[in-house]
Chain A
Amino acid sequence: MATLASSTAMPVEREPTDWSSTRMQRRIARRYAAERNFRFLGLAALGLAASFLVFLLFTIVRDGWTGFLNTEVRVAVTYEPAILGLDAGRIAATADPAARRAAFRQADFAGLMLAASEQLGDFDSVVSEGAWLALRDRLEADPALLGQTEQVWVPVRSTIDLLNKGKFDLEAPEISRGVSDRDIRAWQALEAQGKLRTGFNGIFLSTADSTVPELAGIWGAALGSLLTLLVTIAVSFPVGVGAAIWLEEFAPRNRWTDIIEVSINNLAAVPSIIFGLLGLAVFLNVFGMPRSAPLVGGLTLALMTLPVIVISTRVAIKSVPPSIRDAALGIGASPIQVVFQHVVPLALPGILTGTIIGIARALGETAPLLLIGMRAFVVDTPQGFTQPATVLPVQVFLWSDDVARGFIEKTSAAIMVLMMILIAMNSVAIYLRNKFERRW
C-alpha cells in the first residue's frame, strides 16, 4: 500500500459518488430485501417451534385430562361379619394396630364385594375387580361399620369408565368398536338409574401401578422418582461442586488436569444408556446392590449428572470477577476463605441453575434405569431406598406399551404430572438464581 501510494505522484481522480443512481437504488433494495427475508425466516422458525409445542401440549392434555377423573358405581354394601370372617368383638379388643391390620388383610373383602355387586343383577360385571379395596379402606377407617349397611361408591371397570367418558365410537360395528354391546347396555342402564358418577380420581394420585387401568396410579412412580432424585442430589451436588472448585481454584495446570478436563467434557456427551450399563456392571454386579432400587437408580443418574454439574459450576466460578479474589487476597484472606466466603457465594446462582437443570434432566431419564431393573412392575409404593421402585418416565414408558385401552389416558396423565414437576423444578431454579444474584 505504502509503495503504491508513493509510486503514483497524484492520487487517481474519482467521480463523486452518485447515491441516487439506479445501481445504488438496487443495492439498497437488495439490502432491505435481505433484512426482510431474514426477519421472515426467523419468525417462521419461531412459529414452527411454537406450533409443535402447542400441538404436543394440546395432544397430551386432550388425551390426559380425563385420566384425573374416574367413574364410580353406587352399591349398597352390608359389612357381613360372616362373609368377611371378622369378629366385631375381636377387632375392638385388638389394641395392636399391626395385628388389627393383619386381621383386615386376611378378611374376605373380595367375597363381600362379589355379594354386594349381585344387586346390580345382569350388570354386576361393571364393578372393577379391585373395587373391594375401597370397602376394606372404609371398614379399616371405621370398624364400627361392621354389620351395618351403607351406600358405597366403588370404581367401575376401565371399559365402562371409558364409555362414560365418551372414548368409544358407538356407531361403529361391535367387532371394531373395542367395546361389547353388553357393556354398552350395562352402562346405559346404570346411567339411566343414576348409579354412575364421575369425579376426581383419587386412586390415580394415591396408588402405584396395577395391571388394570382403573386401579393404576402415579404415586408409586412419583415417590420412586423422589427417592431416586434424593440419592442423585446427595451424591452429585457435593461431589460435582467440590470437583469443580478444586479444578478451578486449586488444581495445578498440567497434563493430568488437562486430561481430567477433557474427560469431563466428553462424559457430558456420553449417551445416557452407557451410564445404565456402567451402573449395571458396577453397582449391581460388583457391589451386589439390590435391583430396581432407588439407591442404584440414584447413583447411576448421579454419574450421568456429575459432568453437567462440574461444567456449569466451573463456568459459574470463572465468571466471578478476578478483582473480588484480589480484594480478598489483598487483605490477607487464605485461599480457602477466598473460595468459600467470596467466590462460591457469588457463583451460587450459576451453580444452582446448572445443578437443577442437571437434576431435571435426570428426572426425565429413562434409558439407564431400564438397564438396572427399574422397569419392573411394582404394585407397592416404595418404602425405602433399597425397595423395588419405578420412576415417572419409566412408568410412562410402561403404560404406553400396555395393550389395555384405559392406559392411553393414564400415559398422557402421567406425562402431565411429570411435566408439572419439571416446570416446578425449573421455577425453583429461576427463583434461586434471582434470589442469590448480586450485581456489581
Chain B
Amino acid sequence: MNTNNAPPPVGSNQPPKMTARGVNVFYGAKQAIKNVSLDVRADEVTAFIGPSGCGKSTFLRCFNRMNDTVDSARVEGEIKLDETDIYAASMDVVQLRARVGMVFQKPNPFPKSIYENIAYGPRIHGLAANKTDMDGIVEGSLRRAGLWEEVKDRLGESGTAMSGGQQQRLCIARAIAVDPEVILMDEPCSALDPIATARIEELIDDLRGKYAIIIVTHNMQQAARVSQKTAFFHLGTMVEYGDTSTIFTNPSEGRTKDYITGRYG
C-alpha cells in the first residue's frame, strides 16, 4: 500500500484548476449544499469526507454539471474551471464533461467489448484520426489505468465480464481516454473488496500530477492515504477544509475531530 502523505510537490503556487465560490444546491425546496467555497489544485488529490447524506456527492456532481440531469436540482453560486464559469450560459456541457471526467460509485462499463468501452469517448469527441490512433489511445489509457497487462489479449471480450475491481479500473481508463483535466471519483471503491481497493488507491496515486482528482469517500483511512487536501462535510455545510495531514492530526473544528475519531458517522 502506498501511503503517500508527503506535502504537495512543486507547483502549488499555480492558480487553482477549479474554484467553487458560494455554492448552494437545492433539491426542490430542500437545500443540500449550503454556501460552500473551495479550490481544487491541478497537482493534488482532493478528498471530500463526511457522514452519509452530508452532500459530498451532490457537491462533487456540481463540478461536471451532472446535477443537470436531476430535474428538481438547482445550483447557485459560481464554479470555475480555469477561470471560466462552468454554469455560464455559453458553457457547452458536453465539452465540460470531456474536460472533467467522472468515475462512479458502482462500476458501470458499457455492455460492450473492453476495446469499445475505451474507444467510445475518443470517438464521439473525434480524438482519433484513424484506427492506429485509436489503438494507441486504447492501449495508453489501459496502461495508465494499470489494466493493459491483464486485458491485452482479450480486448474483444465484454467489459461486464470482468471482476468488479477490473471493471472500475476500466471505467477509470475510459475516463482517461478522453484526456480530461479533472477526474471526479464518487466513492470509487465502495463496491470493491480490500485488494481491489488497494489497487485503485495505487492507481489514484499514480494519476496524481497528471490530472486534478477529486474523490468522495466514506472511508477516512482512504482519504488519509490518497489525498493531499481534505474537505469535511456535515449536513450540507463544509465544516473544514485544509491539508489532509492537518485535518487528520490537528483538526480545528470539534465536529471534524469527532468524526475522524469515530464518535459519529
Interface residues of A (CB under 8 A from B): 252-253, 321, 323-334, 337, 341-342, 346, 438-440
Pair A323/B94 contact, Cβ less than 8 Å = no
Q: Is B134 an interface residue (CB 8 A)?
A: no
CA A332 to CA B93, docked complex, whole Å: 8
Pair B124/A337 contact, Cβ less than 8 Å = yes
Pair A329/B160 contact, Cβ less than 8 Å = no
Which of A252, A253, A334, A341 is in CB contact (< 8 Å) with B94?
A334
CA A253 to CA B71, docked complex, whole Å: 9
List chain B residues, Cβ under 8 A from A252: 71
Q: Is B248 an interface residue (CB 8 A)?
A: no
Pair A331/B111 contact, Cβ less than 8 Å = no
Which of B64, B104, B160 is in CB contact (< 8 Å) with A439?
B160
Q: Is B101 an interface residue (CB 8 A)?
A: yes
Indicate the size class of the contact surface on chain B.
Answer: 20 to 34
Pair A331/B101 contact, Cβ less than 8 Å = yes
The residue of chain A having its C-beta at the shortest distance from the C-beta of B72 within the complex is A253
Pair A330/B97 contact, Cβ less than 8 Å = yes
Pair A323/B97 contact, Cβ less than 8 Å = no
Beyond A331-B120, A331-B178, A440-B160, is A324–B125 a contact (Cβ under 8 Å)?
Answer: no
List chain B residues, Cβ under 8 A from A325: 69
Q: Is B20 an interface residue (CB 8 A)?
A: no
Pair A323/B178 contact, Cβ less than 8 Å = no
Pair B69/A332 contact, Cβ less than 8 Å = no
CA A438 to CA B116, docked complex, whole Å: 15
Of A253, A330, A439, most B-chain CB atoms within 10 Å: A330
List chain A residues, Cβ under 8 A from B178: 331-332
Pair A327/B160 contact, Cβ less than 8 Å = no
How far is the CB of A289 from the nearest CB of chain B, in Å? Answer: 43
Pair B121/A439 contact, Cβ less than 8 Å = no
List chain A residues, Cβ under 8 A from B96: 332
Pair A332/B94 contact, Cβ less than 8 Å = yes
Of A253, A328, A331, A341, most B-chain CB atoms within 10 Å: A331
Beyond A253-B71, A323-B106, A326-B108, is A331–B66 a contact (Cβ under 8 Å)?
Answer: no
Which of B66, B124, B171 is in CB contact (< 8 Å) with A333?
B124
Supply 17 further A-B pairs (C-beta < 8 A) apart from A327-B171, A333-B94. Answer: A323-B106, A326-B66, A327-B174, A328-B110, A329-B66, A330-B101, A330-B102, A330-B104, A331-B98, A331-B121, A331-B175, A332-B96, A332-B98, A333-B124, A337-B124, A438-B111, A439-B111
Q: List 29 A-B contacts (CB under 8 A).
A: A323-B104, A323-B108, A324-B108, A325-B69, A326-B108, A327-B104, A327-B108, A327-B109, A327-B171, A329-B97, A330-B64, A330-B97, A330-B102, A330-B103, A330-B104, A330-B175, A331-B101, A331-B102, A331-B121, A332-B97, A332-B98, A332-B121, A332-B125, A333-B94, A333-B121, A341-B124, A439-B111, A440-B109, A440-B111
Beyond A323-B104, A323-B106, A323-B108, is A329–B121 a contact (Cβ under 8 Å)?
Answer: no
CA A19 to CA B214, docked complex, whole Å: 60
Contact mask for chain B residues 70-113; partner A; CB cutoff 8 A; 1 contact, 0 none? 01000000000000000000000011111001111010111100
Beyond A253-B71, A331-B174, A332-B97, is A326–B104 a contact (Cβ under 8 Å)?
Answer: yes
